[in-house]
Amino acid sequence: MAIRKVLLPLTGTAAGEAALTTSLMIARLWNAHVLALHVRVDSRDVAPLAGEGLSGAMIEEMMSATEKESGERAHAVRAMFERFVARHDVVVSEARAGADYATAAFAAVTGREEDIVAQQARLADVTVVPHPDAGEDVSSSDALHAVLFDSGRPVLISPRVAPTTIGTRVCLAWNGTAESASSALAALPWMQRAEVVRILSADGYQRRGPGAAELGAYLALHGIKADVEMFQSVGNSVGAGLLAAARRFDCDLLSMGAYSHSRLRQLILGGVTRHVLEHANLPVMMNR
């Protein structure tokens, strides 16, 4: 198992360059290809949002302004990508089977970002998204949830500041759910090349399903030696306890399932996924 294709949705947010750096680090580890994808807003989508009471001329003006702004953003995102690859000496080309170096390419398409990103993510080994609260809009968060809920593939949330290493000290958050099982599968290639691996579990985190010790025995069948830490909540927050345990381990990649409870429940009541999304300062790979 290996990482061969990395999808990177770019929207021009403040965290875009950190996500570019994270994507390039992954590509260089695996000799993989990074597809930097920018989705332009379709100005025709503005018309249904305009509502009643607006003249045709006003709607045309809104569409024209949207098209202009979308074009300017696409130009700025592409310029950022080109500056980045030039500065970091990245080979810009199409994906190549068997390449022994990292490559990158830029693509711009028009449509609904959450739809296109989810579709493209289905044929990527991992999708890297900027930290969801690090930009001036919510589009990066939209892309994150589109991949989680509609791609069947892992999404890696880049921290606000690009890491210096990734995947050398891997933590796997485990609670026995189908979501955490998916995260364990996605993390297998990372764990097989990591220096050390730790399973993080807690009594308040575990659901019905196999326990951490059973996971450890399963990983051993794949040649992975992992120890187990049963962490404690911090301030009655399992998410805070999970991140504290990851910090103690000096973790540079945390893999976990996402939204074992419904997203709506987590948005209203809080939850582990929400806490990690809001507070993690390391690369986090999520699966659902």
- 271 confidence band (pLDDT: 50, 70, 90): confident
State the average pLDDT over residues 205-234. Answer: 95
Place of tokens 């390449």: 99
pLDDT tier for residue 265 given thresholds of 50, 70 and 90: very low
Do 139 and 175 reside in the same domain of the chain?
Answer: no
Task: Let me know whether 150 and 173 are in one domain.
Answer: no
The encoded tokens of residue 135 equal 């930009």
* Paired tokens of 210: 């196999």
Residues 206 and 226 in one domain: yes
**pLDDT single digits (tens) 70-96:** 777 888 899 999 999 999 999 999 888
Least confident of 73-77, 154-158, 254-258, 268-272: 268-272
Give the Cα separation of 258 and 240 in Å (integer): 15
pLDDT tens-digit readout, 25-71: 999 999 999 999 999 877 666 555 555 566 667 666 666 766 677 77
Mean pLDDT over 250-266 rounds to: 78
pLDDT of residue 267: 52
Q: Which domain holds residue 134?
A: 5-157
User: What confidence category does residue 137 fall into, taking pLDDT thresholds of 50, 70 and 90?
Assistant: very low
Residue 163 lies in a domain: no
Has residue 164 been placed in a domain?
A: no
CA dist list (Å): 161 to 24, 84, 87, 181: 14, 15, 18, 28
d(CA 128, CA 194): 19
199, 258: one domain: yes
